[in-house]
Structure 1
Amino acid sequence: MSLIEMAVGFIIFCSGIHEAFVQRRLTRDGRRVRGLVVRHDSRSIPGGSSASFAVVEFVDAWGVPHTFHSRSSGIGKLPVGGELPVRYSPAEPDVARIDRTGKNFLKVGFILFGGVWLFLVGFFVYSGIWTGSGTPHGR
């Protein structure tokens, strides 16, 4: 089980690194436009439950409409018909994110921290440093 935790932690960490690079590229080279929440889609998430993700539409500098799924869930904060800032890559308009700098930074940090934490737990269990059984008996 600990090898699986290490692998999943590594994958989560790598996805956080990828998202950090995407966010940096969009901040540096992206264009900011207004987007519109057009609907919500439900997706299954680990643990057997589901979450709703906003589907956002925006128009690029050439007047071409594009649609993308928000990377975070939540209907209340992103109601259908609501406007929000979007940042997209002019070279690849399909690469777009909701432009909330502070929240994007926290989200990437949370993903990176979670990946490292899960990897380290798996590593410590695998190496025998942490058995997860609490304090040793007989002391």
Structure 2
Amino acid sequence: MLQSIYDQQDFFENYIKLDRRVKGLEGVPEWLQLKTMLPDLDGLTVLDLGCGFGRFSRFARENGSYGDQIRYERAGLEELRLGDDEYDLVFSSLAFHYAANIAGLIKEIGIVLKPSGRTVCSIEHSIYTAPSRPKFIVDEEAGGKSWLLDGYE
């Protein structure tokens, strides 16, 4: 299986302190928007790619998906190989930007989705994933205040 930055202990220990991990879905800034994009989950078969702690999976189950069980598998996004026309919804929050072969991942999602299926996803903003990031950003519209701390790397 492919290794990720989450396998590095120091990174993971800091990552789990973020609001999105501490507060669950309510701590995810994009959650309200993603939620509006979801179909009625009742009776749907859902694939949650990059599920992290499984919070969306539990939300989906609480809203009628999955029946009474959730199955978790640990695998890299590039290794995804599932059956044809298996899922009504593929959901992914903040994971696709880790895929080195995004075209291959999208192709595989197209295979696993039922013909009437839907994909709902978000990716990390490029300010966090760019190879070279500024130490801080000055927001001119907010009176010149920086929104990333000085020394951020």
TM-score class, shorter = under 0.3
Higher RCO (CA 8 Å, separation ≥ 6 residues): 1
Larger proportion of strand: 1
